[in-house]
Structure 1
Amino acid sequence: MELPRGMKDFEGRENVNIEHIRSHFKQLSSLYGFSFMDPSPIELLSTLETKSGPAIRDEIYYFKDKGDREVALRFDFTMGLTRYVSSQKSMKLPAKISAFGGVFRYDEPQKGRYRYFHQWDVEIYGKASIESEAEIIELTSRLFDSLLLKNITIDVNHRNLVESYINNIFDSKDPQLVADILRAVDKISKKSKDDILKEFQEKGYDSEKLEKILEFSQIKGTIQQVEKNFDTKQLESWDELKSLIDSLENRGVSNVRINFGIVRGLDYYSGMVFEVFDKNSTLGALAGGGRYDTLTKAFGREDIGATGVAGGVERIILTMQEQGIVPELSQNRISVLYINDEMQKVAMSIASLLRLNNIATDIDLSGKNLKKQMENATESRYCIIVAPKELENGKVVLRNMSDGSESQVDIEKITDDPKSVLNLEMP
């Protein structure tokens, strides 16, 4: 029995890692005032085609349901959340919404990205403002801080800025030309310059002009560095980008740089865009987002702007592993062990009592010998060992799994106040 290509099962340790990121994300998004929501995993195909049109079908899972309706699996949270907010005419604005869960994309499977994977997402809907954009980037930076990740860089840009430069170079305001050249810029991190030039030359584009755009996309650095090496007066939205950097500096976010090569591939972005990288890794972007006012307008809401970010959970987990960050399964987990079958009944009673006191407890159910039980308890904080000699005196053995030290404890103390005896801080 095999899974469809690009799918996978998520087992114990993987789920621990996913839950670790989910916990940090939900705590932080709540701290910033975001309301958590789980949008529907199935949308009408027409909803997902709202901005990108039928071309999106090549990248998603879609089918007809039993009612002969064309439906599709969500490929991100932005479309569903924007559909929801756009339908809520009386919703108080600005609306700050977060989400976490699985999404589906019919992409070529790659390291850190299967066709079903997990994302975290935050969105702000309301009047367009630089402070909303800065808040999204600030939260993103703080999330990576809370996960203890190092070497994180947030590259920011503005779509209008790149589009204005493309229009100047090609002396054109053809939207299709701009869209095609933006796709060429977006490919520069994945393909060689020569391959891109060849591909777009075959489509009829001037390779000399395209090469200028690709060279432009390599410009990155601080405001001062960019202004020193390039005449930014010819660029639209440069002052807006500077204001965003200024707001982030005011918020204490220092790991941001300007990168003219960041344009984001999706068609619905309309202003500021950014991506997050571990500068010492080759995994690619860990998160990305920006302003997408054109999407709310496409859903019929001319009065609402939107900005947001989403991060790839599995790719973040790989980055944590590269940096040697391993989330603990449970700092407060307890294992109850027994010497022989006669001690098993008492051990089961103790385990049940601990669980009634909201203490995470493991116990072997299959009658393994003590050595095997001990091997399976290596990630527990303590082991309670039920042995005949100690039990005769109304005691059990308490073993500290971090240093191997042991002591004898009265069973009555464990039954009366287990959290105090085990020195656990439990909810």
Structure 2
Amino acid sequence: MELPRGMKDFEEQENANIEHIRYHFKKLSNLYGFSFMDPSPIELLSVLETKSGPAIKDEIYYFKDKGDREVALRFDFTVGLTRYISSQKSIKLPAKISSFGGVFRYDEPQKGRYRYFHQWDIEVYGKANLESEAEIIELTSRLFDSLLLKDITVDINHRNLVESYINQLFDSKDPQLVGDILRAVDKIAKKSKQEIIEEFKDRYDTEKLEKILEFSQIKGTIAEVEKQFDTSTLASWDDLKKLFESLENRGVSNIRINFGIVRGLDYYSGMVFEVFDKNSTLGALAGGGRYDSLTKAFGREDLGAAGVAGGVERIILTMQEQKILAEAKPNRVAVLYINDEMQKVAMSIASLLRLNNIPTDIDLAGRNLKKQMDIANNARISIIVGPQELEEGNVVMRDMQNGTEGTISLEKLTEDPNSVLNLEKL
């Protein structure tokens, strides 16, 4: 029996890594005042099409339920959260919401992302303002700091800025042209300049395509960008400068202006950003921006929105590349027994430790000591119950990392179960 293509089982270490990310994310989102919620995993297909149009069917899991309704599995959190907030007419604004969990996409499976994978997500709903956007980027940067990831860059841009340059360059305000060129720019991280030109040359002037792709390579600080290009003709340059300055004021130092960041989705309407590890080829670890047009599509003309989502499995791969997520053995204890007569005492000790919230393993099958050592390999400390030591009221304790041993009295173990985690003090 096999799983459907693109699906996988998540084993213990993978789940532990996901929970590690979840812990840091929830801690930070709470610190910044975000309310945590989990939007429904199933939406009406029409709701998901509000974000991405009918073509989204090619990229998601959708089906008819027993009520003959067209429904689909969520492909991100933004749609569900925006649907929910848009329906809450009396909600206090700004509303700050965070989510963490699994999403489904019918994309071609790739390294770091299967068809079911995990995301973290934060959104701010309310009147559009620069400080909301800065807070989202700040929290994102702090999350990567808390995960101890190095060489992380947050690249920021503004969609209006790129669109204004496209309109100037092509002397046109045709939405179809703008959309096509934005998609061309968005491909630059995945394809060569020549491949993109070949793809679009039948519809657009090659020289102008080359210019827009050169424009997309401009990046740096405010001063560096202004040396490379006359920004006075670009819409929203001042807005982007103010965002950059706000982030610097907040102590976010790993930011960079990058004219190549446009985000592929059509609903973005302002600031956009993506997060990269400079030494990785995995692509963006997180991305987001302002998307006021989506709340309008849900009937809330008065409601602005900005947010970000990050790919958990891709972040885990990056942490493993940097050797941050070493499979360190947790503070587990293995209780072993020399023979069947010692099993009863060993079981009692295991229960005592578990009652005191100490993760404890013990063999249930009555195997010999040699085979019991299999479970001890997953522990930091092992307790060995043997006849000779037990006669004296003691048990043996062994540090499984360095092999040192000691004994502890059953009386002390009963009075202070946590003492098993301090072998060096015995």
Cα distance 1:48–1:215, how it changes in 2: closer, same or farther (>3 A)? same
Please state how far the C-alpha of 1:421 moved relative to its aligned partner: 5.0
Aligned residue runs from structure 1 range 25-104, under 5 A: 25-104=25-104
Q: In the alignment, what sits opposite 2:208? A: 209
Counterpart CA distance in 2 for 1:421 and 1:315 is 37
- The structural deviation recorded for 1:205 is 1.7
Deviations 1:290-344 (A, max 9, x none): 1111111111111111111110011011101110112556633222111222222
Q: Residue 196 of structure 1 aligns with which residue?
A: 196
Secondary structure of 1:50 counterpart: helix
Residue identity matched to 1:335: A
Specify the SS of the correspondent of 2:376.
coil
User: Which stretches of structure 1, 4 residues or longer, exceed 4 Å deviation after superposition?
Assistant: 327-330
Counterpart of 2:159 in structure 1 is 159
State the alpha-carbon separation in 1 of the partners of residues 29 and 397 from structure 2: 39
Match of residue 399 from structure 2: 400
One-letter amino acid matched to 1:64: K
- What are the superposed Cα offsets for residues 351-405 of structure 1, whole Å, 9 maximum, x if unpaired? 1121122221111222333334334323423211111111111111122233322
Distance in 2 of aligned mates of 1:161 and 1:114: 34
Contact 2:381–2:420 under 8 Å retained in 1:
no
- 1:102-128 per-residue CA deviation (whole Å, 9 max, x = no partner) reads 001111111111111000111111111
Do the aligned partners of 2:267 and 2:294 also contact (CA within 8 Å) in 1?
A: yes
Contact 1:329/1:379, CA 8 A, preserved across alignment:
no
Relative to the length of structure 2, the TM-score reads 0.96
Kindly provide the amino acid, as one letter, of the partner of residue 85 in structure 1.
I
Q: Is the 8 A contact 2:320 2:326 kept in 1?
A: no
User: Within 5 A, what are the aligned runs for 1:152-301?
Assistant: 152-202=152-202, 204-301=203-300
Instruction: For residue 277 of structure 1, report the CA deviation from its aligned partner.
Output: 0.6
Which sections of structure 1, spanning at least 5 residues, go unmatched? none
TM-score with structure 1 length normalisation?
Answer: 0.96
Separation in 1, partners of 2:131, 2:367: 59
> Which range moves more in the overlay, 86-95 or 374-383?
374-383
CA distance 1:170–1:126, change in 2 (3 Å): same
Q: Percent identity?
A: 81
Contact 2:270 2:289 in 1 (8 A): yes
Tell me what 1:386 maps to. 385
1:361 partner amino acid: T
Aligned to 2:19: 19
- Describe the superposition over 1:22-77 as per-residue Cα deviations: whole angstroms up to 9, x where unpaired: 11111111111111111100000000001321011111111110100000010000
The residue identity in structure 1 corresponding to 2:39 is P
Aligned to 2:317: 318
Counterpart-to-counterpart distance in 2, 1:194 and 1:284: 20
Residue 359 (structure 2) pairs with residue 360 (structure 1) = yes
CA distance in 1, matches of 2:80, 2:61: 15
Answer yes or no: is the 8 Å Cα contact 1:131–1:247 preserved in 2.
Answer: yes
* SS of structure 1 residue aligned to 2:188: coil
| C-alpha contact (below 8 Å) 1:157/1:259 kept by paired residues | yes
1:177 deviates by: 1.2
Q: Give the SS at the match of 2:50.
A: coil
> Who is 2:107 aligned against?
107
Q: Secondary structure of the residue that 1:109 maps to in structure 2?
A: coil
SS of the equivalent of 2:257 reads: strand
User: How many residue pairs end up in the alignment?
Assistant: 423
Hey, what does 1:349 align to over in structure 2? 348
